[in-house]
Amino acid sequence: MGTVRRYGQPDLFCTVTCNPLWPEIKRELLPGQTVTDRPDIVCRVFHQKLQQIIHEVTKLGVFGAVQVGNPCRSSPQTVTDVLPDV
């Protein structure tokens, strides 16, 4: 709320979800294991993909220059504010 109050409403809102059928997850499972047996692998792969997306948006500027980047690490869910500089 403070970010919106200071910088205005964001131009873009993205939701990132995890697909348990991603090849990166499937190849790490042992025979007979399912993704529910290895939440650590699912979490690790999701986090790596999320970090790549954040890098592409903030550093590579795929949506233009970024005015604010404020990752919130205080909650169990990942929330990141990225506002393009318009």
Number of residues in the chain:
86
Compute φ and ψ for 72, nearest 5 degrees: -100, 110
Express each pLDDT in 33-83 by its tens digit: 999 999 999 999 999 998 999 889 888 988 888 776 655 544 444 555 555
User: What's this model's pTM, rounded to 2 decimal places?
Assistant: 0.72
Express each pLDDT in 62-76 by its tens digit: 888 877 665 554 444
Residue 79 is part of which domain span?
2-84
Number of structural domains the chain divides into: 1
Q: Where are the beta strands (DSSP E) in 7-62?
A: none
